Amino acid sequence: MRRILAFGIGLFLTGAVCTGVAQAAALDVFTAPELGGSVPCQTDGPTGVVRCEGPGNAVSKTVRSFDGTPIDVNFSMPSAASFGPPPYPTVMYFHGYGGGKEGFNGYLKFFNDLGYAAFTMTERGFGRSCGETTPLSELTAGSEDCSNGFIHLMDTRYEVRDAQYLVGQLVDEGLVDPGKIASVGASYGGGKSMALASLQNRIMLGGLPDEEDGAYAPWESPEGTPMSLSAAAPIVPWSDIAYALMPNGRTLEYLVDQPYLGPELAPTPNPIGVMKIGILRGLYGSGDNYSGDSVGTDLLDPAFDVPGWKDEMELGETYSERPRAAFVLDQMTRFHSSYYIDDSVKPAPLLIAQGYSDDLFPLPEALRYYNRTKATHPSADMSLLFADVGHPRAPLGGPNAQGRPSDKDLGFERIQRWLDHYVLGDGDVPPNGVEVKTQVCPWESPSGGPFTGSDWASMAPGEIRFSDRRTRTIGRDSNSTGTALSFGVIGDACTKAPITNEPGTVEYALPKVPKGGYTLMGAPTVEADISVSNGPDSQIAARLLEVGTDGLHRLVARGVYRPNATGRQVFQLNGNAYRFAAGMQLKLQLVAGDDAGFGAEIASSFRASNDQEDIEISNLEFRLPVMERPGAAGGQVKPPLPKTVPAGYALSSDYSAAALRVGKAMLTGKTVKLTMACPATAYSCGAATIDVSGRIGGKQVKVGSRSGVLIAPGGNATVSLPLTGSARAALRDSSAPKRVSLNVRTRARGVGAGSSVVTGRVR
């Protein structure tokens, strides 16, 4: 993770080819005739590392992939004197969008020094893998065919299969161990690593004529050796590229299955979301050879018309009226995202690293995949590392780097431990859980933590709650271009700016942070009654702002939501782990857009809607999951309420609530006192309603009732309920027993009703 990203204006990790001093020719690799020529290797005298480098300036030294497309590769092997002869355990390392294959003195050296062989490639459509830096005359004059060498946008049938095929060639040459292969990559390469882990021991067909699009086949080397992935460590990846680029606000951190359009049981499909206009324009400019460009061919393949896909997004609303929008969404979800790869096979052990202030691939990209995989494959080995790294707005940590250097170093320590165990079989089993370092400003300060938990839900045992019953209106013109620019994608997460409450802005101020402070740990949640005449075409941009004692504002979390036409609705801002110090003021701001205005789109977070309408919002509930336990922060931290689950969705087991347990009971002349407890293993016991009935003095009576009882997991309390008039009268009866049997019924939203019979002493 030492060089996750160069945003240039920039967006993704670039790879610089660095060739050390090499001596003594060793061998050639990729020697099969169908590959179009071999790649020469040399042995570095001082280290004994074998380095096999792709073309330099000779296109004839590229390696032909499964469909004949020339791919530029580097491959290196560790010192045989130190680690013995091949075949070797191997790490594949993949670059970010706009980058190229890794050089020998960076990540490849890191893995070689640990005893791994290392493979890297320039993805098709970039650099000398048919990108625009390859002279057209050089390609057309030779035998290389770039007709299919354009960017396929990390298609599982093409870019992912390229790596599987080429590493399979190295297996056949006796250099790579087919059962000890790992994948590491950042951003674009992180998405590839997610796909490889999801496939595990399969390939996706469709890249050759007469193959069924999207069908699966065993992953085998060209000569038929079975292959599988032992582990993966995706760094700031996506799991659903459609959601990452066009979020609709329907992903919630506590739900199980969350496809873009919603699960089959949902009442209506989710709408197409809001374009991340600045990021998408920057990404597009980083590409070399798109289908229809003049490298090798000028023919346009509509199934890979990335320029046309971008144009479709730029058109904006109304997407539902244009068939091409549905086609683009279908392609992105079927062939370009790990979340939609058939999940009947347990994925390879996954360590997923994600960044809080990453506006391109925020925390939902990891949590969506994590929740579904835990439900489908409870025995899957999977761990999350959340830190201050990633794409902008992650803090600038130096040249060609995004994020806090110490967090990146921690990341690579964890990756090394993960690969050593799952690939080499060395060391103890790494924890399957969550590790978090909190965001801190300024970025030069050390981040907080690390903090660890068995799962994501356990990281936030408490919550801060805020309610507002007023009916407010988010004006259609409430977007402030100045604020959008201050907190746009060019800059970093520690930026502070003055901010004004523009007309039509709906803003909620939480109580000032009390002594001791508290730590946001997860996704801020908004639940409210929302009404708008054209839900799929309007949007709500949400910002969580920290206001310092200097009056300046800092953006802590953001999100965007396409509202339904009317009704009770819930959405979340992207998660963060952020410490709020005493005296700070938190504000939730809801506006009609997060667009910096004409001419500044490259800095904008979201595209403005073509047909934005006023949005009415009332009965708002705002919740912040926090790391502190209930009772902290002067009592502001409360036990978490059960999560709101939209129709058709399912709650992750990590967030399952439980019924209160009832112990002893005592009746007096005026009250019934119950000893109650919330199981320590529960996420929440809900705000329970308790109904008590019993037979007293020969009469069946309602004894008492109380609502809003909330006990934290692992806690217990004595709960007093006023006796009903009939219960008091029954107790005054001379025939009333000294002990009575009571039926106690507890119920809470999101919790199955529980019923307990306890014997109560009458006093």
pLDDT tens column, 61-84: 789 999 999 999 999 999 999 999
The CATH code for residues 461-639 is 2.60.120.260
Higher per-residue confidence, 522 vs 483: 522
Question: What CA–CA distances, in Å, run from 459 to 185, 451, 454, 629, 712?
Answer: 27, 8, 8, 10, 14
User: Residue 18: pLDDT above 70?
Assistant: no
Residue 502: per-residue pLDDT: 79
Topology annotation, domain 657-762: Immunoglobulin-like (2.60.40)
Question: What CA–CA distances, in Å, run from 625 to 359, 519, 520, 545?
Answer: 20, 8, 6, 16
Residue 38: per-residue pLDDT: 87
CA triple 252-253-254, angle to 5 deg: 95
Highest mean pLDDT of the ranges 129-138, 226-235, 601-610:
226-235
User: Residue 728: pLDDT above 80?
Assistant: yes
Whether the ω angle into residue 87 lies within 30 degrees of 0, i.e. cis, is yes
**By C-alpha distance, which of 716, 755, 7 is closest to 355?**
7
Rounded to an integer, the average pLDDT of 629-653 is 93
| Full-model pTM | 0.91
User: Residue 734: pLDDT above 90?
Assistant: no
Percent pLDDT > 90 in the chain is 69
User: Residue 736: pLDDT above 80?
Assistant: no
Rounded to an integer, the average pLDDT of 363-386 is 96
Residue 14: per-residue pLDDT: 34
231-247 confidence digits (pLDDT tens): 999 999 999 999 999 99
327: confidence class by pLDDT, cuts 50, 70, 90: very high
Write the DSSP assignment of 117-171 as a string of letters.
EEEEEPPTTSTTTTSTTS-HHHHHHSS---TT-S--SS-TTTHHHHHHHHHHHHH
Distance of CA 691 to the CA centre of its chain: 42
Burial code (b: 16+ CB inside 10 Å, e: under 16) for 531-559 equals bbeebbbbbbbbbbbbbeeeeebbbbbbb
Question: What CA–CA distances, in Å, run from 106 to 99, 112, 418, 521?
Answer: 14, 10, 19, 34
Rounded to an integer, the average pLDDT of 316-325 is 93
Residue 20: per-residue pLDDT: 38
Pair 62, 72: CB distance under 8 Å: yes
List the structure tokens of 304.
């890979």
The burial of 293, by beta-carbon neighbours within 10 Å (0-12 exposed, 13-18 middle, 19 or more buried), is given as: buried
List the structure tokens of 573.
């801002």
Higher per-residue confidence, 302 vs 744: 744
User: Residue 747: pLDDT above 90?
Assistant: no
Cα–Cα distance, 4 to 576 (Å, whole number): 19
User: Residue 682: pLDDT above 50?
Assistant: yes
Residue 488: per-residue pLDDT: 86
Topology annotation, domain 23-457: Rossmann fold (3.40.50)
Rounded to an integer, the average pLDDT of 405-429 is 92
DSSP code at position 633:
G
DSSP bridge pairs for 554: 496, 546
Weakest mean pLDDT among 179-188, 363-372, 590-599, 745-754: 745-754
Cα–Cα distance, 426 to 328 (Å, whole number): 44
Whether the ω angle into residue 78 lies within 30 degrees of 0, i.e. cis, is no
Pair 90, 176: CB distance under 8 Å: yes
Higher per-residue confidence, 278 vs 142: 278
Whether the ω angle into residue 362 lies within 30 degrees of 0, i.e. cis, is no
User: Residue 115: pLDDT above 90?
Assistant: yes
CATH 2.60.40.3580 domain residues, the chain:
657-762
**By C-alpha distance, which of 237, 242, 393 is closest to 313?**
242
Residue 247: per-residue pLDDT: 97
Higher per-residue confidence, 422 vs 44: 422
Average pLDDT, rounded, for the chain: 89
Residue 481: per-residue pLDDT: 87
Residue 515: per-residue pLDDT: 94
737 phi, psi to nearest 5 deg: -75, 165
User: Residue 401: pLDDT above 60?
Assistant: no
Highest mean pLDDT of the ranges 305-309, 398-402, 568-572, 692-696:
568-572
Residue 318: per-residue pLDDT: 93
Rounded to an integer, the average pLDDT of 623-652 is 94
User: Residue 145: pLDDT above 90?
Assistant: no
Pair 479, 504: CB distance under 8 Å: no
Weakest mean pLDDT among 168-172, 237-241, 258-262, 440-444: 440-444
Residue 379: per-residue pLDDT: 95
Pair 596, 511: CB distance under 8 Å: no
CA triple 239-242-243, angle to 5 deg: 70
Rounded to an integer, the average pLDDT of 425-444 is 90
User: Residue 262: pLDDT above 90?
Assistant: yes
User: Residue 16: pLDDT above 60?
Assistant: no
135: confidence class by pLDDT, cuts 50, 70, 90: low
Cα–Cα distance, 69 to 150 (Å, whole number): 9
Weakest mean pLDDT among 63-67, 553-557, 700-704, 749-753: 749-753
Say what the alpha-carbon torsion angle 596, 525, 621, 654 is, to the nearest 10 degrees.
Answer: 180
Weakest mean pLDDT among 67-76, 621-630, 684-693: 684-693
Question: What CA–CA distances, in Å, run from 373 to 256, 340, 377, 378, 430?
Answer: 8, 12, 6, 7, 18
201: confidence class by pLDDT, cuts 50, 70, 90: very high
Residue 9: per-residue pLDDT: 29
541-556 confidence digits (pLDDT tens): 999 999 998 999 999 9
Three-state DSSP at 411 gives: helix
Residue 3: per-residue pLDDT: 31
59: confidence class by pLDDT, cuts 50, 70, 90: very low
Residue 23: per-residue pLDDT: 39
Residue 57: per-residue pLDDT: 42
Highest mean pLDDT of the ranges 253-267, 479-493, 676-690:
253-267
Three-state DSSP at 602 gives: helix
User: Residue 2: pLDDT above 70?
Assistant: no
Three-state DSSP at 745 gives: strand
User: Residue 4: pLDDT above 80?
Assistant: no
CATH 2.60.120.260 domain residues, the chain:
461-639
Three-state DSSP at 423 gives: helix
Max Cα distance, the chain (Å): 110
List the structure tokens of 554.
């800092």
